[in-house]
Amino acid sequence: MLMPTLSNILLQKEILLESGTNELEILVFRVGRFLFGINVAKVREVLPRQEMTALPQAHPSVLGVFQLRNNVVPCVSLRKHLQVEDDPGSDQQMILTDFNRMQTAFTVDAVARIHRISWEKILAVPAIMATGRTPVTAVAQIDGQLVSMLDFEMIADQVTEKILREDAVSNPHQLPREQLRIVVADDSVTVRQAMTTMLAGSGYTQIQAFENGRLCWEWLEAQWQAKQNLAEIADLLISDVEMPQIDGFHLTKRVKDHPGLGRLPVLLYSSIVTPDNAKKGEAVGADAQISKPELHRVVAIADELILSRGAHNGDAAPTKPAPPQPAPPKPTVAAAPLVLPEPPPSVPSASYEYAPPSGSLLDTFLVELRERTEELRDWLADTSYDRRALLRTLHSIKSAAQVVPVHEVSGAVHQMEEIALDNARETVAIVAPLADLIDWLHSLSHNRRRYAELLGQCPDLGSAFPS
Residues of the chain with CATH 1.20.120: 361-462
Q: What is the dihedral sign for C-alpha 383, 388, 393, 398? A: positive
Provide the residue-wise pLDDT of the chain in tens; the chain has 467 residues.
Answer: 445 455 554 554 443 444 334 567 899 999 998 999 998 878 889 999 999 998 887 888 999 999 988 888 999 999 999 888 877 778 889 999 887 667 899 999 999 889 988 877 777 666 555 445 567 877 888 888 889 888 787 787 677 654 444 557 888 889 999 999 999 998 888 788 888 888 998 999 999 999 888 899 999 999 999 999 999 999 999 998 877 778 899 999 999 999 999 999 999 988 656 667 788 889 999 999 987 767 778 899 999 999 987 644 444 444 444 344 444 443 333 323 222 223 333 333 344 343 444 456 777 888 889 999 999 999 989 878 888 889 889 988 988 887 777 777 877 888 888 788 765 457 777 888 888 889 888 887 776 555 555 555 433 333 322 22
CA dist 416 and 394 (Å) reads 8
CA dist 368 and 353 (Å) reads 20
- Whether the full predicted model's pTM is greater than 0.85, yes or no, is no
361-462: CATH topology:
Four Helix Bundle (Hemerythrin (Met), subunit A) (1.20.120)
Q: What's the CATH code, domain 2-160?
A: 2.40.50.180
HEC string for the chain: CHHHHHHHHHHCHHHCCCCCCCEEEEEEEEECCEEEEEEHHHEEEEEECCCCECCCCCCCCEEEEEEECCEEEEEEEHHHHCCCCCCCCCCCEEEEEEECCEEEEEEECEEEEEEEEEHHHEEECCHHHHCCCCCEEEEEEECCEEEEEECHHHHHHHHHCCCCCCCCCCCCCCCCHHHCEEEEECCCHHHHHHHHHHHHHCCCCEEEEECCHHHHHHHHHHHHHHHCCHHHCCCEEEEECCCCCCCHHHHHHHHHHCCCCCCCCEEEEECCCCHHHHHHHHHHCCCEEEEHHHHHHHHHHHHHHHHHHHHHHCCCCCCCCCCCCCCCCCCCCCCCCCCCCCCCCCCCCCEEECCCCCCCHHHHHHHHHHHHHHHHHHHHHCCCCCHHHHHHHHHHHHHHHHHCCCHHHHHHHHHHHHHHHCCCCCHHHHHHHHHHHHHHHHHHHCCHHHHHHHHCCCHHHHCCCCC
Residues of the chain with CATH 2.40.50.180: 2-160
Residues of the chain with CATH 3.40.50.2300: 177-329+346-353
Q: Does domain 177-329+346-353 have CATH number 3.40.50.2300?
A: yes
pLDDT in tens, 340-391: 223 333 333 344 343 444 456 777 888 889 999 999 999 989 878 888 889 8
